Amino acid sequence: MGRDIGICLVYRDMWQSSGKYMPRVDQLKRVAEPIVDMGCFTRVETNGGGFEQINLLYGENPNKSVREWTQPFNDAGIQTQMLERGLNALRMFPVPKDVRKLMFKVKKLQGTDISRSFDGLNDTQNLKLSIDYAKEGGMISQGSLCITYSDIHTVDYFVNMAGTLIDMGAQEIAIKDMAGIGRPVSVGKIVEGIKAINKDILVQYHGHSGPGFSVTSSLEAVRAGAEIVDVAIEPLSWGTVHADLLTIHAMLKDAGYSVPDINMKAYMQARTLTQEFIDDFLGYYINPKNRLMNSLLIGPGLPGGMMGSLMADLENNLSSLNKWLAKNSKPAITQDELLIKLFDEVENVWPMMGNPPLVTPFSQYVKNAALVNVMQMLKGKERWSLLDDNTWDMMLGKSGRVPGKISDELKKLATEQNREFFEGDPQELYPDALDDCRKEMDEKGWEHGQDDEELLEYAMHTAQYIDYKSGKAKETFEADLAKRKAPTEVAAAAPVSSGEFAPKSLNIDVNGEKYRVSISYDGQPAAETTSNQEAANSVPSSNGEMKEVLAPLEGKAYFTKDASESPVKVGDKVNTGDIICYIEAMKVINAVKSDQEGTVVEICFKDGDEILDDDVLFKLN
């Protein structure tokens, strides 16, 4: 037999690349036993990425999850690995230096052996601290190459990047083919180049199924010297996820490599439990199309980890868009038509945005920009008419250096909006935060936790942690799940009067003058505001021509982005181009600018309301 090849089960990524949520800790503990009993895994990916934020979103403590989930593998001598995003650590935006350092210490103490660190721009300066902090915390530091395909991202580009990471102290290298678009021969050449730099450094190949290259790429990587291959298991292998263990195992064995035998009884137990978790609740958040492979992904190169949320976003945006098209006497479009338009726009704008590797969070930024462009242009508006601050920060250098060049069109737009490019180390833009977080937790009476693990969660995912502690996260999740489980059920707890659906106020025109009036029905009182905020959102009447500012996309509407801003109020004068509110959509905050000027006479939403594309946000006079 040939040399030994290790196999890593990416159980966390299986779920993230399929849908929104991960199994609960009780479910993870149950499936750990048959995973161990399979007897074929050198490593298991247990946490990192969006894992802990997802725990918080459905009301579970992520520290308890990581400790109890990693323990069976620690006991069995199977290495555990996590995924972390360099400057962004475990979230979608940059993290202060002291929080990053604490993360590695905590994760090692919780039972995680290896840190797979990647930078979404392949900017190695963002990974230096990850390498140093992982080793200081007692973890193995694995530096990642985010594989993408373009004239910029050549074999030499990736080999040189690996050499830089090795010089920085990375102990292993991961070939992170997050979209599965790495061409097999090129993947093999990259591994050969890495081994030419350091023949002893361990190389691990991670490839999503996506367009179908990953099985061949796995073989080419191993032939070139890779020691470990990542796999998934049914019923979540293939599609936007990874090749199945059984296929990779049989292929490597036939090629003459030594791989441990698989306990098929244990495999079937793990498979059955995974299906049970899908049937329990996780399947309600998995789009069936994510279970399919799709060669159309070769062009846009969108990653499997993002496709889990993309189809849900697309479904919501399609519904909203078709309402607008119908209202404007235009033909509706199908989801497939919108998807192809999106893929085409991704290919178009990606090089204009500097060819960032299409990996979290920058794949989301490119996709979001492309999707908003498509929707705006279908409405007759200009490309780039709505571009969020996170995406601007990426292009301006505040998250690191993009590998390509920003287009002249976008540079001109940046100048028009008084945006400046940043040339320094982006970590400098995010000062230490742990002391402030400790103080805030103390004021709330919250414990910092074993090994400061609760402090880490609060600092890393502040808003989600607060919702978790208050019970709001669990309540919101359970309400959403109930709605998904019974979408056609109609609540019948109490009779509803027709008045509840009748208008409470109207705009009327009397001899050319505009007035807003309140209405009551059958002795019911006229609609009244119930809070100071609501009172500030309307006025008894207004004269003159009424103008409406409409929502440019669907999402949650907020008056301000942070506490330093003052919300727009009734009576305020706004000018064309003024930021008047924000809409959170597709994991980013979009500033909404007024497309006309006037005095605010009515605000048509409450802070945090879910709004639809083309809903009226403000009325101006």
- For 59-83, what is each residue's pLDDT tens digit? 999 999 999 999 999 999 999 999 9
Query: What is residue 304's predicted lDDT score, i.e. its pLDDT?
Result: 61
- Return the SS3 of 140: strand
Distance from the Cα of residue 311 to its chain's centroid: 13
The answer to which of 31-45, 538-552, 561-575 has the lowest mean pLDDT is 538-552
The domain defined by 498-620 carries CATH number 1.10.287.370: no
- Return the SS3 of 341: helix
For the segment 314-328, the average pLDDT, to the nearest whole number, is 81
User: Which residue stretches of 245-385 are H helix?
Assistant: 245-254, 264-280, 304-327, 335-352, 362-378
Query: What is residue 537's predicted lDDT score, i.e. its pLDDT?
Result: 53
Is the pLDDT at 499 greater than 50, yes or no? Answer: no
204-227 residue pLDDT tens: 999 999 899 999 999 999 999 999
442-451 residue pLDDT tens: 999 999 999 9
Q: Which of 30, 27, 135, 34 is nearest to 9 (CA)?
A: 34
Better-predicted residue by pLDDT, 347 or 188: 188
Is the pLDDT at 30 greater than 80, yes or no? Answer: yes
- Return the SS3 of 72: helix
Helix H or strand E segment including 29: helix 25-37
Better-predicted residue by pLDDT, 437 or 504: 437
576-619 residue pLDDT tens: 888 899 888 766 778 888 888 999 999 999 888 888 877 899 99
Query: What is residue 311's predicted lDDT score, i.e. its pLDDT?
Result: 67
* Rounded (5°) CA angle 128-118-4: 105
- Averaged confidence pLDDT in the chain: 88
For the segment 479-486, the average pLDDT, to the nearest whole number, is 91
Amino acid code (one letter) for 479: A
Is the pLDDT at 539 greater than 70, yes or no? Answer: no
Contact 228, 42 (CB under 8 A): yes
Q: Which of 478, 483, 434, 431 is nearest to 457 (CA)?
A: 434
Distance, in Å, from the CA atom of 174 to the CA atom of 478, rounded to the nearest integer, reads: 37
> Strand pairing partners for 116?
83, 142
Helix H or strand E segment including 220: helix 214-223
Query: What is residue 95's predicted lDDT score, i.e. its pLDDT?
Result: 95
For the segment 170-181, the average pLDDT, to the nearest whole number, is 95
The answer to which of 163-172, 174-183, 538-547 has the lowest mean pLDDT is 538-547
Query: What is residue 299's predicted lDDT score, i.e. its pLDDT?
Result: 78
Contact 273, 31 (CB under 8 A): yes
Look at phi and psi of residue 474 and say left if phi exceeds 0, alpha if psi is from -120 to 50, else beta: alpha
Helix H or strand E segment including 217: helix 214-223
Query: What is residue 501's predicted lDDT score, i.e. its pLDDT?
Result: 37
Percent of the chain with pLDDT over 90: 63
Amino acid code (one letter) for 114: I
231-251 residue pLDDT tens: 999 999 999 899 999 999 999
Distance, in Å, from the CA atom of 58 to the CA atom of 479, rounded to the nearest integer, reads: 11
248-277 residue pLDDT tens: 999 999 999 999 999 999 999 999 999 999
Distance, in Å, from the CA atom of 119 to the CA atom of 360, rounded to the nearest integer, reads: 9
Question: Burial letters for 28-53: b for 16+ Cβ neighbours within 10 Å, e otherwise?
Answer: bebbbebbbebebbbbbbbbbbbbbb
> Strand pairing partners for 177?
207
Q: How far is CA 291 from CA 50, 240, 288, 294, 308, in A?
A: 20, 6, 5, 10, 10
Distance, in Å, from the CA atom of 593 to the CA atom of 360, rounded to the nearest integer, reads: 27
E-strand ranges in 91-201 read: 114-117, 140-146, 172-177
pLDDT confidence bin for 568, thresholds 50/70/90: very high
CB atoms closer than 10 angstroms to residue 602? 20
pLDDT confidence bin for 523, thresholds 50/70/90: very low
Better-predicted residue by pLDDT, 540 or 331: 331
Percent of the chain with pLDDT over 70: 88
Q: Where are the domains of the chain?
A: 434-485, 498-620
pLDDT confidence bin for 424, thresholds 50/70/90: very high
Distance, in Å, from the CA atom of 414 to the CA atom of 313, rounded to the nearest integer, reads: 27
Is the pLDDT at 307 greater than 90, yes or no? Answer: no
